[in-house]
Structure 1
Amino acid sequence: MIRLLFLLPILLCFAWYCFLRTNGVPIKKGKKGFLYILAFSTFVLGFFALMIQVTHQA
């Protein structure tokens, strides 16, 4: 499951792009949304990486 987390930002950005196109919003105006998606995805991936390190038993 963890190995598939790289798909999270790809799918969210694609969904955001589809939302912008459907509502006729230019990509330049929706740029902030892409940044939020990337920041959120980085946080989630970092959290899971940290949890793997914390719970890893030698």
Structure 2
Amino acid sequence: MFKFFLLPLILSILWFGFLQYNNWTIQQGKKGFIYIICGTSVTIAFLSLMMYLTS
């Protein structure tokens, strides 16, 4: 279960690396961080629900 919460952290680090590689600021990539947080939150909620329903 704890591994689910590493997903947004890893994706955010990768996104930050992408921004640094292309010489973009965090302000320019803010929307990407929002998409990462929202998308992974929905994924974590769905997987948690499936684990609860199938256990």
Higher Rg: 1
Alignment of 1:10-49 (within 5 A): 10-49=9-48
CA distance in 2, matches of 1:14, 1:3: 18
Deviation readout 1:20-58 (Å, 9 max, x if unpaired): 0000111101000000000111011001111012112xx
Structure 1, unaligned runs of 5 or more:
none
TM-score (norm 1): 0.87
Structure 2, unaligned runs of 5 or more:
none
CA distance in 2, matches of 1:27, 1:3: 27
Quote the sequence identity (%).
38
TM-score (norm 2): 0.91
Instruction: Flag as ranges the 4+ runs of structure 1 deviating above 3 A.
Output: none
Count how many residue pairs are aligned between Structure 1 and Structure 2: 55
